[in-house]
Structure 1
Amino acid sequence: MKHEAIPHNPVRDVGHVAVPARDSGRDKQRAFTREEREALLTFADADPTARRRELPDLLAFMAGTGARIGEACGVRWSDLDLDLGTAKLGSLPVRVPGVGLVLQPHGKTKDSSRTVALPPWLVSRLMERKVNAVPNEWDVVFCSALGKLRDTSNTSKHVRTLLDAAGFEWAVGHTFRKTAATWLDEDGVSGRQVANQLGHAKPSMTMDHYMSRRAVTERAALVL
């Protein structure tokens, strides 16, 4: 060391300091109870920040379908049949270098593109939203507060902020998918039907990662 004030550099003796992960303390294996989900959606409806960020209906859609955040951000009005109570999922907002956000018309895999049944309570909510909807160039149901495509990463951060504010510091956006799979499984819905609802090619993946698509599962809508 300079001037030999100490015989060696003590920093070299310091081991690697672990930096807590962004989601440290989050329990990704836990699902919402029915009471917790209802409390969260009620909180979102009343929270000024959530309303300003256009989150309440987006969260309700994720809760009622088990859709990924990106899938919810990419669903278009033309994908919905509110008379039949169905939604086609698959389109995603993606960021293209040098271009910005674009709406990709297909999902991560061929199994991601699927049609799911909507629970009656969600159909009613979407009908109300449609009456007051402001048109946007992508026809997406859940655009940003500025009428633009939602960035999935930023939306995920906003959802985590809302979860914390509502007292669900353990939860993440994916908790809605975990919850959908758990509730359907507990109600006796088959692994194949749950996989179809979540857009998985193999029921084994659903069971391994989510339980505690193309086919429309009407029973799922009744449970959710």
Structure 2
Amino acid sequence: MSAFGKTRTAAENNLLKKLRDRAKTSKAGQLTAMHRVRQAIELWEGRFEELVTDGKRSPTSLETYRRAIKNHLLPALGEVRIGEASTPHVDRVISEIKKRAGAPTARTCRSIISGVMGLAVRYGAISIDPVREVDRIEHDAKKLSRALSGDEVQLLRKQLATDERAVDADLPDLVTFMLSTGVRIGEALAVLWSQIDLETGKVKITHTIVRIKGEGLLRKVTKSKAGQRELGLPNWTLAALRVRYAAGIRLDEPIFSDALGGFRDPSNVRRSLRDALSPVGSTARRDLGLSLRAARRETGMSRKQVADTLNWPQNKIALIEAGRLKIDRALAITLLSAYNLHPDAMEPLLILVDKATEPAAADALAWITSHAFRKTTATVLDNDGQTARQIADHLGHARVSMTQDTYLDRRFCDSSSPTRSSEAWESARRRRSGWRNERASCGREHR
């Protein structure tokens, strides 16, 4: 070990202090202050994997953490000794991750390293968690919840029904099912025919579909007990399901299956939905994205290199090249300047930018994601007069605050809301009827 000081005596004192700390923190055994942060991360990851095996944590959370560890934490902190991972050092690393990858990724990394250092404290490797005093990660104000209006629902269903790609991806019926139930996309893909009663109009939500690296698609129980619920279906959804139902169909097959009758990948379905609704449907924007990608590749630069040069999140480059992020001339010039293109080579690309900024039919639906369907269902139920607890139960939320803060669109809080259709009323009545029957049953059992 080594230590430094302004004088010989100060250096000796600092060295003695390090030796005392080393002796004190090495008695716990498995981790000491001299171990690398990488070793503590491996130990923490193994403990988290055990929780996943026991069903106490989601495997998708483990996959998210592993990506953050591989891409951000190990390169920045992996070889640092646990005893040298000070608060200023960790704070600087988290700040760099925020600049490079964005606030959500930085929050995930902060959560991971906090868990790792907390584990080190419990093992006696260090006495104080250095992450405790790391500065909070500030980010832009959360966007207000937005639900689909009645006109937007009609436009959406018409767009999907007439889009050849959407029909090939089996999106019309899937979106209808999600709009009427408010279930998550993984939950919708996990529903089997045996879980739907076409006579009573009820569906049981018990599982979800996730993709685990090295294991493929898995049908696992919902993340919490609140996710296991029974929902009513309106007639317009039942009609669509009856059309899909055929004699001889296997009850153990998913309702929304792939071409071979197996489970579909939620990520692929989201991609199909984006292709059907996002501005990538504009030919000019798609051509612009491909041209910008070709220009970047000609320079030999990776997306990461461009992002580092411009101090942008790497995902921003991907969205631009996919045609999913509208850009103007100023933004395009900034991007092309990083490629050191000659002005003559830039002009054709800028002409494409002008064409891509023209309004496209897909713009009206470009904001819609699969989560917007859940917010629409929540807003309809709220307009129907149901309590926040009832809406949370319908969506499968354990916390009512999550429902109130994130899923209710306050623009449609009056009785004239465009989302209040006859189908919505019918679905709400079915839901209320189920609650009344359940309460009556509980009352009879109590008596």
Output the TM-score relative to the length of structure 2. 0.40
Residue 150 (structure 1) aligns with: 264
| Pairing partner for 2:156 from 40, 46, 53 | 40
**Cα deviation, residue 134, structure 1:** 6.3
Q: Which amino acid aligns with 1:121?
A: W
| Pairing partner for 2:396 from 199, 204, 224 | 199
RMSD of the alignment, in Å?
2.6
List runs of 5+ in structure 2 lacking aligned partners: 1-98, 105-142, 282-361, 410-426, 433-447
Q: Does 1:160 align with 2:370?
A: no
Q: Does 1:123 align with 2:238?
A: yes
CA distance in 2, matches of 1:192, 1:134: 37
Q: Which amino acid aligns with 2:381?
A: L
List runs of 5+ in structure 1 lacking aligned partners: 1-15, 22-26
**Cα deviation, residue 112, structure 1:** 0.4
Specify which structure has the bigger relative contact order, considering alpha-carbon pairs within 8 angstroms and separated by 6 or more residues: 1
Q: Identity over aligned residues, as a percent?
A: 39
Q: Which amino acid aligns with 1:139?
A: E
Instruction: Summarize the alignment of residues 21-60 of structure 1 with structure 2, pairs less than 5 Å apart.
Output: 29-60=145-176
Residue 183 (structure 1) aligns with: 380
Check the 8 A contact 1:64/1:221 in 2, yes or no.
Answer: no
Q: Which amino acid aligns with 1:49?
A: R
| Pairing partner for 1:219 from 411, 425, 429 | 429
SS of residue in 1 equivalent to 2:214: coil
In our comparison, the structure showing a higher alpha carbon Rg is 2
CA distance in 2, matches of 1:140, 1:62: 15
Q: Is the strand fraction higher in 1 or 2? A: 1
When residues 221 and 60 of structure 1 are mapped into structure 2, their CA distance, relative to the original with a 3 A threshold, is farther
SS of residue in 1 equivalent to 2:394: helix
Q: Is the helix fraction higher in 1 or 2? A: 2
When residues 203 and 219 of structure 1 are mapped into structure 2, their CA distance, relative to the original with a 3 A threshold, is farther
Check the 8 A contact 1:91/1:103 in 2, yes or no.
Answer: yes
**Cα deviation, residue 102, structure 1:** 2.4
Number of residues of Structure 1 aligned to a counterpart in Structure 2: 195
Q: Does 1:102 align with 2:218?
A: yes
Instruction: Summarize the alignment of residues 9-24 of structure 1 with structure 2, pairs less than 5 Å apart.
Output: none
When residues 39 and 168 of structure 1 are mapped into structure 2, their CA distance, relative to the original with a 3 A threshold, is same
